[in-house]
């Protein structure tokens, strides 16, 4: 067995080599495998996943939904599902994995396989817990509180969140300017709780991280990100990987199935908006969807929840 098969990148390289040289698969098939698995490597690297053993079913589902959010065709997502199942089967048969995470993986099909949507009570519980932590003026806790409040309030993508600069936030008008897919800019509203959390972060938390970063800059620890809204623990701009870890850690104790990254709050916010009677086109504009059809998937979630409430609450259901 190759020494680097335990790493995700090494295992992918070995799989592609064997597919071409040992199994004699066509160049077209190998090319498709390579493109799909290189995208998985990109996704995994952004989340700090380096070993094959860290690629769980939840990670694979989140990867497919990331492709869905980027507008890939259903056929392309189905092909990616097939490619990664071939890879995990090979890794399991070769002893690289003890359990095959791809066995239960299916390409996403509509609202039934949406990433986790948490309830309003669960969101409230998470935010109350963050508020308790932030009460002690810990800069990381203040940042996490503001980060989650903004993710949920504005229903933005994690890539949009980490790209926000100080100048993009209008606390008087309760709006934030974000740069979405294709470089499209939009202005998104947020509520008073998010504003309060942002003010606490900006006034008490962020200066502490900047000061700590400035004191260690001479030792080569990094350069403070003076323009960025959200900072990492070393004072630089918060990255997608770090934001993903923050949210995943918060959600890991909640019941339910499905991916538990920052998109959970985006999906949850969209569903709660529609549950509350928001106009579908207004939600489309807020989310930055190019097609109304992409937004309509949340109506299925709302309808499913309505049916569930009806069955449990109506005396003649």
**Quick one: residue 289, left, alpha or beta (phi over 0 = left, psi -120 to 50 = alpha)?**
beta
Give me the CATH code for the 120-312 domain, please.
1.10.443.10
Phi, psi of 150 (to 5 degrees): -75, -40
**The model's pTM:** 0.59
In this prediction, residue 308 has a pLDDT band, given cuts at 50, 70 and 90, of: low
Of 200 and 285, which is predicted with more confidence? 200
Active site residues: 157, 181, 263, 266, 289, 298
Instruction: For 104-142, write each residue's pLDDT tens digit.
Output: 887 655 444 555 788 888 889 999 999 999 998 899 999
Mean pLDDT for the chain overall: 83
Select from 108, 75, 125, 124 the least CA-distant residue to 258: 108
In this prediction, residue 267 has a pLDDT band, given cuts at 50, 70 and 90, of: confident
**C-alpha span between 30 and 164 (Å, rounded):** 39
Tokens found for residue 174? 């309760």
Residue 268: the pLDDT is: 86
Residue 91 predicted with pLDDT over 80 = yes
Residue 261: the pLDDT is: 77
Mean pLDDT for 297-312 is: 58
**Minimum mean pLDDT among 11-25, 100-114, 149-163, 302-316: which range?**
302-316
Tokens found for residue 89? 């089967």
Residue 108: the pLDDT is: 57
User: Which residues of the chain are in CATH 1.10.443.10 domains?
Assistant: 120-312
Instruction: Find tokens 């077209």 and name the residue.
Output: 28
Measured from the Cβ of residue 258, the count of other Cβ atoms closer than 10 Å reads 18
User: Which residues of the chain are in CATH 1.10.150.130 domains?
Assistant: 8-108
What kind of fold does domain 8-108 have according to CATH? Answer: DNA polymerase; domain 1 (1.10.150)
């Amino acid at each position: 067995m190759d020494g680097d098969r335990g790493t995700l990148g090494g295992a992918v390289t070995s799989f592609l080599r064997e597919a071409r040289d040992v199994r004699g698969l066509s160049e077209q098939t190998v090319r498709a495998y390579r493109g799909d698995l290189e995208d998985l490597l990109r996704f995994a690297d952004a989340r700090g996943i380096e070993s094959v053993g860290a690629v769980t079913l939840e990670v694979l589902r989140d990867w497919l939904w990331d492709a869905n959010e980027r507008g890939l065709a259903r056929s392309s997502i189905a092909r990616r599902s097939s490619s990664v199942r071939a890879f995990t089967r090979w890794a399991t048969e070769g002893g690289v994995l003890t359990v095959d995470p791809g066995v239960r993986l299916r390409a996403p099909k509509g609202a039934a396989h949406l990433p986790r949507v948490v309830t309003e009570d669960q969101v409230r519980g998470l935010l109350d817990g963050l508020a308790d932590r932030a009460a002690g003026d810990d800069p990381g806790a203040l940042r996490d509180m503001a980060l989650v409040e903004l993710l949920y309030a504005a229903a933005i993508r994690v890539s949009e969140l980490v790209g926000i600069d100080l100048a993009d936030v209008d606390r008087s008008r309760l709006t934030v300017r974000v740069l979405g897919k294709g470089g499209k800019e939009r202005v998104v509203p947020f509520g008073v709780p998010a504003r309060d959390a942002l003010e606490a972060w900006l006034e008490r938390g962020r200066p502490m991280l900047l000061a700590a970063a400035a004191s260690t800059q001479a030792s080569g620890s990094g350069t403070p990100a003076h323009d960025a809204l959200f900072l990492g623990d070393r004072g630089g701009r918060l990255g997608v990987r770090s934001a993903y870890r923050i949210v995943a850690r918060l959600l890991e104790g909640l019941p339910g199935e499905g991916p538990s990254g920052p998109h959970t709050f985006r999906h949850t916010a969209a569903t709660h908006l529609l549950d509350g009677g928001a106009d579908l086109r207004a939600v489309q504009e807020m989310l930055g969807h190019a097609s109304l059809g992409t937004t309509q998937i949340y109506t299925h979630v709302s309808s499913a929840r309505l049916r569930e409430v009806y069955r449990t609450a109506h005396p003649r259901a």
